[in-house]
């Protein structure tokens, strides 16, 4: 006999978006069911954001041991135990896991079902021996690594983010296919931990980011020792464990790169298979669910959040989606998602952070824009810490409203937040220029770059004439 459960809201997928919806709904008094067939916490906790940042932190520590000379500290070669580095990575996961656990969510009043969920019809989901009917459903099944159809790849062992953090031996030569954020983060991390690394990118590295500022990160990685080949085509892969051959086409020349391991970092693919979405009248394509601006599917009782929504694939976007869905599903408020001010960060050293429009995208719209820059070399805190490699770049319209901002430098991910606020609230630069920034901090660069917009007017000949004129009156 099937166990019949009636709920106000049923969530399929216990990643960031699904957990946020379930926790919020349950605490607001809604009868909530959460279905997850794999690990609680989803990709972000187990194979994505958390382990990758933990690995990067270990790599930064190793790098720092050899970078003390400018401070008068003799450099020392780091002795890396790669197995213990992975122990550190998994201990970080373990420390965060209780926040996403079955026990915590059951304590909140959520009915958690550890099984595969699928739609039986437009108003029913089956999970194991449970049959769930609900007023509203949320599909939050996330995404997985997209594996390109490279000839021979299916015949050799390869890494994606889903198994990379299980490796306990440092690769002697890691070949990474893909020069996006995941590929470049893992390139720098493995290089600093002792691996030789080659990155193969079909276009340019950091395709989505401002090329002027991303070039600073690319240059740093190359100085670290990462080989980055842009504009190359991967023709085939062959070999066996510990001996991988990748044949590429590079500037009309065909050649082969030999490595010990290969990591595929060529993007993500939405998890829509096995849900029987057709039975619920839910349309989707290769990118994910087809949603309206209220995040509703073609079955208006079913919402989509996070990576499966088919847009920007970030944990913070999934969390944002959760708030939109709760307002729509529980309070019947017609809240609409706005992705125009979504920030993203690549956690290399230096970090690369962005929100809003780039210079290129603004010019593509034939807009009259202002481009402002302020270099970290002009920041006292950056000088004190010998971290002057970086710049903030801000794009505004002719009315000084912020269109976008990109920061490259230490802690860029932390420094981008006021520009997210400025973009989302359509603030003018005067708001940023007039704040009092603590000294000495890196955050002063935001005030400085905003103030630079007004410098030509403030120190113009007309202003000097006005000051002299007013001086005549005592």
Alpha-carbon dihedral angle through residues 12, 13, 16, 18, given to the nearest 10 degrees: 10
Alpha carbon distance 321, 344 (integer Å): 16
Residue 259 assigned to a binding site: no
Residue 428 assigned to a binding site: no
Radius of gyration of the chain (CA): 25
CA-based end-to-end distance of the chain: 95
Residue 378 assigned to a binding site: no
CB 218 within 8 A of CB 392: no
Residue 98 assigned to a binding site: no
Residue 41 assigned to a binding site: no
Residue 185 assigned to a binding site: yes
What six digits make up the tokens of 77?
């070669």
Residue 65 assigned to a binding site: no
Residue 307 assigned to a binding site: yes
Residue 53 assigned to a binding site: yes
Residue 249 assigned to a binding site: no
Residue 66 assigned to a binding site: no
User: Quick one: three-class SS letters along the chain?
Assistant: CCEEEEEEEEEECCCHHHHHHHHHHHHCCCCEEEECCCCCCHHHHHCCHHHHHHHHHHHHHHHHCCCCHHHCCCCCCCCCCHHHHHHHHHHHHHHHHHHHCHHHHHHCCCEEECCCEEEEECCEEEECCEEEEEEEEEECCCEEECCCCCCCHHHCCCECCCCHHHCCCCCCEEEEECCCHHHHHHHHHHHHCCCEEEEEECCCCCCCCCHHHHHHHHHHHHHHCCEEEECEEEEEEEEECCEEEEEEEECCEEEEEEECEEEECCCEEECCCCCCHHHHCCCEECCEECCCCCCECCCCCEEECHHHHCCCCCHHHHHHHHHHHHHHHCCCCCCCCCCCCCCEEECCCCEEEEEECCHHHHHHCCCCEEEEEEEHHHCHHHHHCCCCCCEEEEEEECCCEEEEEEEEECCHHHHCHHHHHHHHCCCEHHHHHCCCCCCCCCCHHHHHHHHHCCHHHHCCHHHHHHHHHHHCCC
Residue 179 assigned to a binding site: yes
Return the closest-CA partner of residue 355 out of 392, 311, 321: 392
Binding region: 53, 117, 141-143, 178-185, 201, 267, 307
**Would you list which residues are annotated within the binding site for FAD?**
53, 117, 141-143, 307
Binding site members for NAD(+): 178-185, 201, 267
């Amino acid at each position: 006999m099937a166990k019949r459960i009636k709920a106000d809201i049923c969530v399929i997928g216990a990643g960031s978006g699904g957990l946020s919806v379930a926790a919020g709904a349950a605490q607001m008094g809604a009868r909530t069911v959460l279905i997850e067939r794999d690990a609680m916490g989803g990709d972000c906790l187990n194979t994505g954001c958390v382990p990758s940042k933990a690995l990067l932190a270990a790599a930064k520590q190793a790098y720092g041991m050899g970078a003390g000379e400018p401070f008068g500290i003799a450099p020392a070669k780091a002795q890396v135990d790669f197995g213990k580095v992975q122990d550190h990575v998994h201990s970080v996961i373990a420390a965060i896991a209780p926040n996403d656990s079955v026990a915590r969510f059951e304590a909140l009043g959520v009915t958690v079902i550890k099984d595969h969920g699928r739609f039986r019809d437009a108003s029913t989901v089956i999970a194991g021996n449970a049959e769930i009917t609900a007023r509203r459903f949320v599909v939050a099944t996330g995404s997985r690594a997209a594996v390109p159809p490279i000839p021979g790849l299916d015949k050799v062992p390869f890494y994606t983010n889903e198994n990379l953090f299980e490796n306990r031996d440092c690769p002697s030569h890691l070949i990474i296919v893909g020069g996006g954020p995941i590929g470049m983060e893992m390139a720098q991390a493995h290089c600093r931990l002792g691996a030789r690394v080659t990155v193969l990118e079909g276009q340019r590295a950091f395709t989505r980011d401002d090329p002027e500022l991303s070039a600073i990160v690319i240059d740093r990685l190359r100085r670290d020792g990462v080989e980055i080949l842009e504009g190359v085509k991967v023709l085939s892969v062959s070999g066996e464990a510990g001996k991988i051959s990748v044949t590429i086409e590079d500037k009309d020349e065909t050649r082969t790169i030999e490595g010990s391991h290969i990591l595929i970092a060529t993007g993500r693919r939405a998890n829509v298979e096995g849900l029987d979405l057709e039975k619920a009248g839910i349309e989707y394509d290769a990118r994910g669910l087809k949603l309206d601006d209220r995040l509703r599917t073609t079955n208006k009782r079913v919402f989509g959040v996070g990576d499966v929504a088919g847009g920007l694939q970030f944990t913070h976007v999934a969390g944002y989606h959760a708030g939109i869905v709760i307002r729509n599903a529980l309070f019947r408020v017609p809240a609409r998602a706005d992705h125009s001010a979504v920030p993203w960060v690549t956690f290399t050293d230096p970090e690369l952070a962005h929100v809003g429009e780039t210079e290129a995208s603004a010019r593509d719209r034939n807009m009259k824009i202002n481009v402002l820059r302020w270099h970290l070399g002009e920041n006292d805190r950056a000088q004190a810490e010998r971290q002057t490699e970086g710049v903030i770049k801000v794009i505004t319209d002719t009315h000084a409203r912020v269109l976008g901002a990109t920061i490259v430098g230490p802690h860029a991910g932390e420094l981008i937040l006021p520009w997210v606020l400025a973009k989302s609230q359509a603030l003018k630069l005067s708001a940023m220029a007039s704040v009092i920034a603590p000294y000495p901090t890196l955050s002063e660069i935001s005030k400085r770059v905003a103030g630079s917009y007004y410098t030509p007017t403030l120190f113009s000949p007309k202003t000097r004439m006005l000051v002299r004129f007013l001086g005549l009156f005592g």
